[in-house]
Chains A and B, each alone.
Chain A
Amino acid sequence: MRRFKWLGSSAVTAVLGVVLGTLGANEATAQSKQLTLCWAAWDPANALVELGKDFTKQSGIEMKYEFVPWTSYADRFLNELNSHGKLCDLIIGDSQWIGGAAENKWYVKLNDFFDKEKISMDDFVPATVVGYSQWPKNSPNYWALPAMADAVGWTYRKDWFSRPEIQSAFKVKYGRDLAPPKTYDELKQIAEFFQGREIDGKKVYGAYIFTERGSEGITMGVTNALYNYGFSYDNPKKPYQMQGVVNSSDAAKGLEFYKELYKCCTAPGMTNAYMQEGLDAFKSGQVAMQMNWFAFFPGLYKDPNVGGDKIGFFVNPAGPNGRFTQLGGQGISVVATSDRRNDALAYIKWFAQPAVQQKWWQLGGYSALKAVVDAPDFPKSAAFAPQFLESMGIVKDFWAEPSYAQLLLDMQKRVHDYVVADKGTAQQALDLLVKDWTKVFKEQGKQVASQ
């Protein structure tokens, strides 16, 4: 009898276990309707969280976010992709990752999906399609949907520029009106004019530019000058032929200019400064002009101390050989190892809708959809919208090769050595860069022509 009792209670336990297990499984299924989106921790990410609530409302899929600071963003997520991790279902990856992500099959190729859902890349700003989606470049192979258009732009203290005493002092010194610069020479003059000047009892400095050594900072800054002085990554007619292009005398002049600007007109201690240091310098009223990404401009415009009427924006000034600016921004991709591929694709389908893109722009993100940015009222929709539009028409991007990280770190080293550490000449720095890059491409199995 006792044995029977034992058997009976065991059976009840087993049945309970099965029931509870099933309930647990159901709960797990409900919880699995969740997507994890990986991106950098910055202002637009907050806007995306806000926007994502609409997706959850419509689809019932919860959104979870993994935002990592920019300084460790590439390390963290490239490590994740390299190790075929399952942390991210969707990733907003940097434009330079696209080559490696496509070749290593980290991202899902989206061509069939775009065809099926009638998402046309012709509806997006061309520079963003080439920069964020295509690999190989300029071929109809899409690995991402343009998500966050961005470029380097400039902010300036409009209130300082408009003060009569400053205006007249500038006119006396340079014989022209003080206005946002259109060329790099003008920018340097203005920066020199403000450097060390006392405004409202406080010493201010001319300009803030990128000098960061560890990740990508100084490269993303210096290229804005290099492009406009005549630097190219390779010969357009002979891919990967860099000798005489990367290290042309014009490119060396561009590098010299950046160093002069750094030496003459930046605040002390800006030897390793990137986005956040620039924002701090501008918000604390330390600098007259600031180089930074457009992504931060909505936040700066709202700033109670330096925003509103006090802030103005201008496009990266022209150099002797053209006017370009550094492309930033990212596309959104589905991670190939994700177990929730269909849900992730559903997110991309939702995100590509014009109404969602419109709201994305209104919340502080930067849409790359033509329907949004080409709308007649777009230039009036934000104080920095006209400059953003103009910038997106003149962008150039860094290498997006699978070996981009090596190429980037080599440039970081050579440029920082010259600009900040006073090592060698500009020409020597670029010659060494050609040597470094040639080695990387040869390791990658590319044919590198010397001339």
Chain B
Amino acid sequence: MDQMTTILQPDHVTIAGMSEPAKSRAARRVRGLSDRAIAWLFVAPTIALLLAINIFPLVWMIRLSFTSLNLSMSYLPLRFVGLDNFTDILTDEDVWFRLQTTAQFVIWSVALQVVIGYGLALLINRQFRGHSFWTTIILLPMMLSPAVVGNFWTLLLQPQIGPFNSLISLFTGVPPSSFSMTGQVSLAPWTIVLVDTWMWAPYVMLICLAGLRSIPDYIYEAAEVDRASPWRQFWSITLPMTVPFLMLAVLFRAIENFKMFDMVNLLTSGGPGSTTELVSITLKRAAFEKWRTGYSSALAIILFVTVFGAANIYVKVLNKVKQR
């Protein structure tokens, strides 16, 4: 027993004559907080903040979506209207038009961004003189604020003084002031697609570039040994191995574009008429200009469920692609 004590002493007994676990327990008793409690203490402010500015407003919004609340007429009694707001929205032709406009904007802008972004990534992935300089130049648009982009494109597209129309005129011979990119029904939807693509194709390029750089060189070396043409290498190696990255880019851009507000609002205010009125602009007008709080809460929930549902399905598909 003495021998045992002698062996154990150097490891578990301190100079003060107290073992480490005992000291730790004593320290905890002194402080009165367990590790778990300390962990909660650190996490609590974040949880409180999340509850206050995220969860509580969400729950409150769900509650309001079943009411007739209109903040510009808050003197009227608040009525519970059941699903009336939801029915109103889903049977409103205008809302469906806005959803169609939004879907068209999302599809066209994301498709163009993917094609252009992927093409740029393939170019930038090659080593050439001035490679870093051109990469920086290409990335500049996505570093700007959408408000700045909206304002300066408004000036660029101005029919009389804007350089864009003059440039088109130079190539086509059409007088520059004879058309308005933001004011004509046939051109305005393409204008917002064009500006959004200009701004966000570099973002897609970045994601694709990460994908391209993750492909090991030995695969290409093996393909070259097998005398595979560059075209064959692209279809059999490059594209399949970057598809998950492309899908991720599509997911990010689609969600972002579904919510797009600032840039379109500055470029066209949803006009001419309602031609470029995306559903986010409709929502903003209902909530903060018409003050239809109950109605706009219901619309926000419908949009949230739509984006959330679509994103979930997409992520499942993405995971399957990754597993392959």
Contacts and interface: CB of A to CB of B under 8 A. Distances in A.
Contact of A444 (B71, B73, B179, B265): B73
Interface residues of A, number: 35
Contact of A420 (B74, B178, B183): B183
Given A269-B183, A271-B182, A78 B274 contact: no
Nearest to A203: B177
Interface residues of B, number: 34
B76 A420 contact: no
Interface string B286-301: 0011111000000000
B159 A268 contact: yes
A268 B185 contact: no
A28 interface: no
Nearest to A71: B269
Contact of B269 (A214, A267, A404, A423): A214
B159 A413 contact: no
Interface stretch (A98-106, A291-299, A353-361): A98-106
A116 B73 CA distance: 31
B270 interface: yes
Interface in A86-112: 100, 103-105
B292 A406 contact: yes
Q: Looking at chain A's contact residues, is the secondary structure mostly helix, strand, loop, or mixed?
A: loop
A422 B274 CA distance: 11
A285 B189 CA distance: 31
Nearest to A79: B288
A396 interface: no
Contacts of A268: 159-160, 177-180
Contact of A269 (B159, B275, B288, B291): B159
B265 to A, nearest CB: 8
Given A271-B183, A406-B291, 9 more contacts: A213-B273, A269-B182, A272-B268, A406-B72, A416-B271, A417-B273, A421-B273, A423-B273, A445-B76
Interface in A406-425: 406, 409, 413, 416-418, 420-423
Contacts of B285: 409
B73 A422 contact: no
Given A268-B159, A421-B185, A421-B275, A103 B269 contact: no
B119 interface: no
A281 B290 CA distance: 31
Given A269-B158, A272-B182, A403-B73, A213 B290 contact: no
A79 B72 CA distance: 9
8 closest A-B pairs by CB: A421-B273, A271-B183, A417-B273, A269-B159, A214-B269, A213-B271, A268-B177, A421-B272
Interface of A: 74-75, 78-79, 82, 100, 103-105, 212-214, 267-272, 402-406, 409, 413, 416-418, 420-423, 443-445
Contacts of B128: none
Interface of B: 68, 70-76, 158-160, 177-180, 182-185, 265, 268-275, 285, 288-292
A213 to B, nearest CB: 4
Contacts of A420: 183, 271-273
Contacts of B70: 403, 443
B183 A422 contact: no
Contacts of B291: 78, 82, 405-406
Nearest to A213: B271
Contact of B271 (A272, A402, A418, A444): A272
Contacts of B270: 213-214
A421 B269 CA distance: 13
A418 B272 CA distance: 10
Nearest to A270: B183
Contacts of A423: 185, 273
Given A82-B291, A269-B159, A104 B180 contact: no
A104 B271 contact: no
Nearest to B71: A82
